Amino acid sequence: MAVTQPFPRIDGELWAAESRVADLVAEFGSPLYVYDAGVIEAAYRRIESAFAGADILLAYSVKANSNLEILKRLRALGAGADIVSQGELHRCLAAGFSPSDVVFAGVGKTEVEMEAALEVGILAFNVESAEELQALGRVAERLGRPAPVALRVNPDIVADTPHEYTRTGDGASKFGIPVDRILDLYRWAADQPSLEVRGIDVHIGSQILDPEPYTRALAQVLDLAAEVRAEGIDLDFVDLGGGFGVGYEGEDGLSVEGLAAIVVPRVAETGLRLILEPGRFIVGQAGILVTKVLYVKHSGSKTFVVTDGGMTELIRPSHYQGFHRIEPVISREEAVREVVDVVGPICETGDFLARDRVLQMPAQGDLLAVQTAGAYGFVMASNYNSRRRPAEVVVNGTEVTLARRRETLDDLLRGEIP
Ligand SMILES: Cc1ncc(COP(=O)(O)O)c(C=O)c1O
C-alpha cells in the first residue's frame, strides 16, 4: 500500500490518493464512504514502529471498521484482531486472519459464540465476569477443549474522553471485573481443567488523547499480573486494549510514541507479550463520508443545509455529539461563509451531521466531505427510514476498489417473510 496524506486538496478540489473525490461520486453515487488504504497502512506502521521494542500483537479492533477489504489489507500487514461477536469472527476468518491472533472481548458472549471461537482456536477470551468465566468453563468442558482466558480488569479509571459513552474503565461501567475480585478469579480459573489462564486485559475507553490514564491502568494490571504470578499462575500476555485518539478538529491525536516510551520498558521487564487493540487510530483519519447537498433551507433564524446523508450513514454526531470537520469537495472561494446546521433527510430532529457550523455556503448539488469518518462510521450505519446503506470504496494510489456496493431496494426486504 502506498503511504499518502489523508485527502489532500489540490487547486481547491478534494482528492482521495490519486482520484478526484468528485469522480468517485460520479461513478459510485452519493452518499459514499471513501477510504485511503495508504493512510490506514501509515497509521498501522506508526503504532508498529513505536512499539517495536516490545513483543507485540497489534489486534485491530474490528468494530471500528469491519469492511472485508480493509480487514484483508490489515491482515496482509500482519495484524491480529480484537472481536466482540461471532459475526466479527466470521468476518476475520473470511479475511484470512489466523484464529490464533484473535482475542474476543464483550460482556455478553453467548455460549454459541464461545463454542464457535473455541472450535477455531482463538488466542484468548477476554472475560468480563465470574459468570462468563463459569459459562466458558462449561462450554469448554462440553467440547473437550480448554478455553484460553484473560481476565478483563475494571481499573476504576475515568479516562477523559469526549463523551461518557466511550468511557469503559470506571467502576460504574458494565465492563471488566473489579480489581478486588481479580485474584480470587485467577485462582479459581487456574484450578479448572477446562480453562487455561493466558493473560490479563484492560481497556479504559475510546478517543483518549493523553497517555496518562494508560500509565495508571498499566501500573494496576502489572501489579495484578505480579500477584497472579506470585501464586504460581503463569501469564503469557498483557492486553492494554485500544482507545488511541485521533484529531477530529485537526489537532494531534494520541502520541503513540509517547505512550510507547512509557509502556514498552515496563512491559519488557515482565517478559510478557503486549497486545494492543487500536481501532479508530488505524482507520479514523483514513475515511470520509461524501454527501450531496439536496436543499439549502432557511427557517426562522436558521439555515439548514439538507444533505442526502445523515444519522443513518454517520451516527456519531447524533449519538456521541461527535465533531466531524465538514468541507466542500470543490471549494467555492467566492461563497460567503455562514453559520448553518448540516442535517440529513431522516425523520428525527436528532438527525444532523453538524450544528451551528461556519461553512462556505454550498449550493444545491454540491458535495460535502465529512472528515475522519473511517472509524465508527459505516459500521454503525442503519436502515432506519428504510434507507439503503451507502457504498464503500477503497483507494490505494491509482487503484480504486468498490469494497461494498450500495444496497438495493431488494436488499431492504431480504430476510423478511411476506
Ligand atoms: C475491548 C475494546 N478494545 C478495543 C476497542 C477499540 O477502541 P478504539 O477504536 O478507540 O481504539 C474497543 C472500543 O470500544 C473495545 O471495547
Nearest protein CA to atom 13 of ligand 1, as residue: 206
> What separation in Å is there between the alpha carbon of 64 and the centre of ligand 1?
8
> In the chain, what percentage of residues exceed pLDDT 70?
99
| Alpha carbon distance 135, 133 (integer Å) | 5
Tens-digit pLDDT profile for residues 68-80 = 999 999 999 999 9
Pocket test for ligand 1, best of 40, 206, 256 (most atoms within 8 A of CB): 206
Distance CA 44, CA 276 (A): 12
Write down the CATH number for the domain with range 9-36+284-413.
2.40.37.10
Report how far residue 263's alpha carbon sits from residue 249's, in angstroms, rounded to the nearest whole number.
Answer: 27
DSSP at 207: S
Q: What is the whole-number distance in angstroms between the Cα of residue 221 and the centre of ligand 1?
A: 17
- Does domain 105-278 correspond to CATH entry 3.20.20.10? yes
The model's confidence at residue 5, banded by pLDDT at 50, 70 and 90, is low
- Ligand 1 atom at minimum distance from 206 CA: 10
Q: Furthest-apart CA pair in the chain: how many Å?
A: 73
pLDDT digits (tens, 9 = 90+) for 343-357: 999 999 999 999 999
Q: What would the pLDDT profile of 203-254 be if each residue is shown by its tens digit?
A: 999 999 999 999 999 999 999 999 999 999 999 999 999 999 999 999 999 9
Whether 92 sits among the annotated catalytic residues: the reply is: no
**pLDDT for the residue 156:** 84
Q: How far apart are CA 73 and CA 71, in angstroms?
A: 5
Residue carrying the nine cell digits 460482556: 107
Ordered DSSP codes for 7-64 = S-EETTEEEETTEEHHHHHHHH-SSEEEEEHHHHHHHHHHHHHHTTTS-EEEEEEGGG
Q: CA-to-CA distance for 35 and 373, rounded, in angstroms?
A: 9
**Residue at 365: amino acid letter:** G
pLDDT greater than 90 at residue 18: yes
Question: Which is the catalytic residue, given 347, 358, 409, 417?
Answer: 347
Quick one: which atom of ligand 1 is closest to the CA of 208? 10
What's the rounded Cα separation, in Å, for the pair 319 and 316?
Answer: 5
Q: Mutate which of 70, 153, 277 to test ligand 1's pocket (most atoms within 8 Å of Cβ)?
A: 277
Q: Per-domain residue ranges for the chain?
A: 9-36+284-413, 105-278
For a pLDDT cut of 90, what percent of the chain falls above it?
93
Residue 29 sits at the vertex; the CA angle it makes with 368 and 293, to the nearest 5 degrees, is 30
Q: Are residues 383 and 416 in contact, defined by beta-carbon separation less than 8 angstroms?
A: no
Q: Ligand 1, residues 40, 63, 166: which to mutate, most atoms within 8 A of Cβ?
A: 63
Q: How far is the CA of 398 from the centre of ligand 1 (A)?
A: 31
Strand partners, 149: 125, 197
Q: Is the CB of 203 under 6 A from ligand 1?
A: yes
Q: Is the CB of 243 under 6 A from ligand 1?
A: yes
Q: Is the CB of 6 under 6 A from ligand 1?
A: no
Confidence of residue 172 (pLDDT cuts 50, 70, 90): confident
Q: How far is the CA of 186 from the centre of ligand 1 (A)?
A: 24
Q: Where do we find the cell 472481536?
A: 83
Q: Ligand 1 centre from 242 Cα, in Å?
A: 5
Q: Is the CB of 253 under 6 A from ligand 1?
A: no
Q: For the chain, what is the mean pLDDT?
A: 96
Which range, of 21-35, 53-67, 167-181, averages the lowest pLDDT? 167-181
Residue nearest (by alpha carbon) to ligand 1 atom 14: 206
Grid cell, residue 410, equals 431488494
User: Measured between alpha carbons, how far apart are the two ends of the chain, in Å?
Assistant: 46
Neighbours of 272 (CB within 10 A): 22
Higher pLDDT pick, 156 / 81:
81
d(CA 193, CA 146): 7
